[in-house]
Each structure stands twice: as structure tokens, then as C-alpha cells.
Amino acid sequence: METAIKRLYEGLFLVDSAEAASDWDGVIGAIEKVLSRAECEVVTLEKWDERKLTYDIKKKSRGTYILVYFNCDPLKIGAIERDVQLSERILRVMVLKTDKMSEDDIKRETPRAKVEREEAEAAEKAEAAAAEAAAKAAEKAAAKAAEAPAEEAPVEEAPVEEEVAPAEDAPVDEVPTEEAPAEEETTEESSE
């Protein structure tokens, strides 16, 4: 018996996005089943990205890519590709030999993870900018409040006196408007 030399491979599996969203565990199970039939050892398996396809594949216009690094006997790669062609869940696969890849290359950030990280950083910056703007606004308001009582104290006294005079005139203006409808009612009652 000969011992098979297993090499490191990179497999990019394409599956239907709708099926991946509705039954993620089933899709991953189908990929793992194909690899286990070829006696592969999975190193990593992760969702790489979801994209619109350039052309429809099996009447599907969107696809989810799943990136898998695995150790496998080179003679079994043909069996993996054949199993994918027979699979109804997996649309396509691309398998590349990656013997020269380092552990850092394998753990490299995927496009989806990069977008999520950038969105999180942008949201974090926006929150920090909003908090900084709120702090500056609070400082300005506090500074105005500290300056305002000293300057506005004499100014407030003058408007208070002015407001008293219009306040006395206001009830006089309101009284005739209230009485006018009352006089009309009495006039109407007397004419009947």
C-alpha cells in the first residue's frame, strides 16, 4: 500500500444565493460531503462573497462564493469536480493547488470581511465625529451661558418693563373681541 501525499488546495465553490440564504447549513453540508467523499481534510471554510453573475448559470443570476482550503490527494481532484457537476446545490467549483501559500495567506481577509470592516470603521468614525460635535456644541452653549447672565441681566430688566405695558393693553384688546360676539347674540335674540 502506498501512502497518498496530500497537498493543500484552494476550492472556490459557487452556490445559488437564495439557497445559501435559506439553507446555509445544507449548502455547507453538501460541500463538506463532496470533500469527505474524496477523503479531504478541510483546513478552513468561509463565505467569501455574494455577487451578481456575469451570465446566468442554471437560470441563477446571483451567486454566493464559498472559499475552502483543504488537504487532498491530487488524484482525487477529478472526483471532486465530477461530484460538483452532479450536485444540484453547487453550481460551479474552481480548485487550485496552493502548496506555496503560507498560513497568513490562508487567513487573509475576504472581500466581504473587508467591506464589513470598512463599514464598521466608517460608522465608528461617524459616531466619534457626532460625539465630538455634540461636545463642542455643549462647550459653546456652556460658554454662552456663562457669558450671558453677566451681559443679559441689564438687558432683561428693560424688556420686562416694556412687556408690562403691552400686557396691560392686551386684556383691553381681548375684552371687546369677547364682548362683540356676546352683543351679536343678544341682538339676534331681541330681533326674534
Chain segment 59-110, per-residue pLDDT in tens:
888 899 999 899 888 898 999 899 888 888 888 889 888 877 666 656 666 6
Q: Which residues of 117-147 are buried (b: 16+ CB within 10 A; e: fewer)?
A: eeeeeeeeeeeeeeeeeeeeeeeeeeeeeee
Residue 184 included in any domain? no
Number of structural domains (the chain) is: 2
CB 44 within 8 A of CB 8: no
Check which CATH number belongs to the domain holding 70 and give it.
3.30.70.60
| pLDDT (0 to 100) of residue 49 | 83
133 shares a domain with 88 = no
Q: Which grid coordinates belong to 56?
A: 446566468
pLDDT of residue 5: 82
Average pLDDT, the chain: 76
Residues 12 and 46 in one domain: yes
From 49, 77, 106, the end of a domain falls on 106
pLDDT band at 13 (very low <50, low <70, confident <90, very high): very high
Give the rounded percent of residues in the chain with a pLDDT score beyond 90.
9
Q: Which domain holds residue 55?
A: 7-106
* 12, 97: one domain: yes
Read off the pLDDT band of 14 (50, 70, 90). very high
42-55: average pLDDT: 86
Q: Do residues 98 and 8 make contact, with C-beta atoms less than 8 angstroms apart?
A: yes
**pLDDT tens column, 100-145:** 766 665 666 666 667 777 778 888 888 888 888 888 888 888 877 7
More confident residue, 99 or 176: 99
